[in-house]
A and B are shown apart, each in its own frame.
Chain A
């Protein structure tokens, strides 16, 4: 079945460092891919998404490119801030049929130190 694998955390960086959080997936169809962010004590917020191969999602300085050849959707940011400290979740939805469910990675915790 479909699955999402994220790099394990926690990830600890200094402010202004470069961030990469790896996400790879397996899917039988042509999935849409998502990154969500969860700040401490809050619900999940959509960070960015991509709906087809080679699409790049971007938001708040974060980017991720849908790579079908490597089945990956890695999250990157060029210069992290303390306010980026959160848990990041990668997810996919297989668009075959009438599926409305998301498949989730386990989340990667990011701590950014000043």
Chain B
């Protein structure tokens, strides 16, 4: 258990509203990631962070922003939700020795945008 929680676990929202998802870790690992999972697309990286206030874009970052003001929390914000952002969102952390570094995942947030 890598001590990762996500909140909320389920959310229904309307098109055009802002939504913030929270990822919390208990072990002060440096690297954190946000993915979305959709049928036929597998896992796609949205944004990642390599430290407090240090973030970078992944492959599907349009329409999303992130913030990391504390080591333990990594927030994903949908500025103005669209139906195409209906998905399951997973947070992950990574740690380990060079070469053996491994990602560990949270339980996911199911988001439905109506």
A residues near B, CB below 8 A? 32, 34, 36, 42-46, 49, 51-52, 89, 93, 95, 100-102, 104-107
Contacts and interface: CB of A to CB of B under 8 A. Distances in A.
A107 B42 CA distance: 6
A104 B43 contact: yes
Contact of B100 (A42, A51, A104, A107): A51
Nearest to B110: A41
A32 B99 contact: yes
Contacts of B99: 32, 51-52, 95
Contacts of A105: 42
B90 A89 contact: no
Given A43-B90, A43-B106, A89 B42 contact: yes
A46 B94 CA distance: 12
Contacts of A44: 43, 90, 92, 105
7 contacts: A43-B105, A43-B107, A43-B108, A46-B104, A100-B101, A101-B48, A106-B41
A102 B98 contact: no
Interface of B: 31, 33, 40-43, 45, 48, 50, 58, 90, 92, 94, 98-108
A78 B82 CA distance: 45
Contacts of B105: 36, 43-45
Nearest to A34: B102
Given A100-B31, A106-B40, A42 B103 contact: no
Given A43-B106, A44-B90, A107-B42, A100 B50 contact: yes
> Closest 3 interchain pairs by CB?
A43-B105, A106-B42, A44-B105
Contact of B94 (A36, A49, A100): A100
A107 B38 CA distance: 11
Given A43-B90, A44-B90, A102 B106 contact: no
